[in-house]
Structure 1
């Protein structure tokens, strides 16, 4: 059988692309070296934040607004609850680039945003204890995406549309040309008219099979849930992202008593994704506790559970969403640098558009792979 499209990687972006292509009636094969949803990539840990007045840059906002529409569509089609509207507090020093981008993005796209002093924040949410030098930008429309429910919904819907998913199928070679691609695992080979690479932490090695050398570095990251008092419980406490002198941290309210969830966004240790990650340890715990003790009113946090995951970083921390420079029947989604999950729906749609029509509705100039070409 010749497929219309083979997708390497059935995690966040790949499974979404598989769904949108299968919805168009395409014959789709998804290959994954594990069995999504799983804890070997970047989508586990139950929850991800979605925010809209984006501190990483205004060029992301149109993608986020479309992603939000598509998440609501998925919720209806799957009959699953995948979103909790908690609001998101972005906080840091007023002159930080992140905070400036949040404020400018909300103005450009007319997004609801409440700018608050640290005193106002500490009064509004009793759980916070922010220094006087901080301000906060509260996005009421932001909140929580449920990762496992999303991956499973896309997987079930794609399967019901006829898409084929082969788990535990590691790709060992790719032979492309302009009108077909042959992809081989250890067990067998498959042929398709087009290919999508969305292999997460393994993207660098997959793309090397296609003669693309891109600066993609997997990092070990940590996050944990901490026992917390009622002031941190959903729905009375928001999600948050904080830019501090000691790093950038993010967090979630306690849901069903599990505890306040917190992680560090920047930093991280380079790793080989084929080797087991070093488990969450006392050093990781101390780093997250220090953030909590410095910025929350409670000062006696007890770890309930700590976990590790993978970020796949580009050197500029922006995404790669593009077509292969030689083979236009190959689309690429890689290097989501720890802030990609919220875009999964729209990236899946974009990849589907690339493959189906060669067109898309967005300005993706910031995300092209050729920005990494060496200047001689």
Structure 2
């Protein structure tokens, strides 16, 4: 007779691995399924580093979640013995009245987060790799930094497996449904049953959520540049993470390298639209020319011709906010997706939220902003 689990987790990237970790901490029988072998380079949870920040330009309501995520990342570090979060500081840059600067200040003030305002001249003195225009300023957050995504996923899965998590990798989920009050998941290799289900499959969520929701999968092209001059100014102790207002429609972001990969600089907006399985992962030289021109302007000590290229996915919502909550049609299914390029820092707390939702049917965290049916209401 087939085994029945308490919970099946579809997708073991940043969110799913954290959900599995929290579920195992509660003593449940859990099966995790991933179509690849996590951590892998085919989705949204790879690429050396991810930004962590608490003064949140996308809205002050994110701040309590970021604070809880910070505490949970530090707890996971202690338990795993691995370095997962490096607090190297962060700067939000742009004209003083731009959304990046004002949004960061607003959330910092609302939650009494310490920050420091830096002029273009002060930035040049403290962080000489950055070339700001005279009318630009920076909001400096000391406790911002980077997460190491592959190490985070490995830590979650290693601990969860040690506590009994079963996983199926290289196994594509074909469909799922509710049968006899429980959940049945059908894959290329088998059929699995559980009482509850978590769906956190990143760019594959549009095929799995099972209800109409406007998710847009976008292929991104992050780039890493080696230093041409003064390599020391790009070291983590002199080069904070950054988000930078470039035009009204375009922002860039980046961070230093930690293991020789170079300095990451990338556009937040733009990219090919399609499906996770249909988007081309080959990148042309024409595609990276715009970021090379920008790097030459803003970081002239980087070598624009010594560049490493990768691809990853954003899964965007129309409003840029997450999709997180109970499935609108099934009380025993929790879903997480649409992280719109700024979700990884929250993986630790979203794993906790997903475990709350499938175990208790609710969470103490305020996730009103992420209501999965908000687009149907509008």
Give the alignment's TM-score, normalised by structure 2: 0.95
Which residue in the other structure is 1:119 paired with? 121
| Alignment partners' CA distance in 2, 1:330 and 1:259 | 41
Count of matched residue pairs: 372
Q: Deviation string for 1:43-72 (max 9, x for gaps)?
A: 111110101101111111110000000000
- 1:273 corresponding residue in structure 2: 276
Q: Distance in 2 between matches of 1:130 and 1:367?
A: 35
Q: Is the 8 A contact 1:233 1:257 kept in 2?
A: no
The match for 2:107 is 105
Q: Please, which moves more after superposition, 242-251 or 153-162?
A: 242-251
- The residue number in structure 2 matching 1:202 is 204
Q: What is aligned with 2:316?
A: 313
1:364 aligns with 2:363: no
Q: Deviations over 1:107-163 (max 9, x none)?
A: 111112111111211121111110012110011001010011111111111101101
1:163-312 aligned at under 5 Å gives the runs 163-176=165-178, 179-208=181-210, 212-228=211-227, 229-245=231-247, 247-275=250-278, 277-298=280-301, 300-312=303-315
The answer (yes or no) to whether the contact 2:19–2:352 under 8 Å persists in 1 is yes
Post-superposition offset of 1:247: 1.6
Distance in 2, matches of 1:50 and 1:86, equals: 10
Deviations 1:288-345 (A, max 9, x none): 2222122224264333311111111111111001101231110010100111100000
Q: Is the 8 A contact 2:225 2:302 kept in 1?
A: no
The 2-side partners of 1:237 and 1:290 are apart by 20
Stretch moving more, 265-274 or 292-301: 292-301
How far apart, in 2, do the equivalents of 1:297 and 1:187 lie?
52
Alignment partners' CA distance in 1, 2:352 and 2:237: 31
- Aligned pair 1:37/2:36, yes or no? no
| Correspondence for 1:143 | 145
Structure 2 unaligned segments of length 5 or more: list them. none
Q: Deviations over 1:31-50 (max 9, x none)?
A: 11111111110011111010
Query: Partner of 1:134 in structure 2?
Result: 136
Question: Which one of 95, 98, 121 corresponds to residue 97 of structure 2?
Answer: 95
Cα distance, 1:175 vs. partner?
A: 1.5
| Bigger mean CA deviation after superposition, 339-348 or 288-297 | 288-297
Indicate yes or no: 2:327 matched with 1:324: yes
| Stretches of structure 1 lacking an aligned partner (at least 5 in a row) | none
Q: Whole-Å Cα distance in 1 between the matches of residues 182 and 89 of structure 2?
A: 46
Judge conservation of contact 1:182–1:189 (CA < 8 Å) in 2: yes
Does the residue aligned with 1:241 lie in a helix, a strand or coil?
A: strand
Shift of 1:365: 1.1
The whole-number CA distance in structure 1 between the counterparts of 2:179 and 2:136 is: 54
Whether 1:355 aligns to 2:358 is yes
Q: Distance in 2 between matches of 1:262 and 1:363?
A: 32
The whole-number CA distance in structure 2 between the counterparts of 1:285 and 1:244 is 16
Q: Give the direction of change, closer, same or farther, for the CA distance of 1:230–1:169 in structure 2 (3 Å limit).
A: same
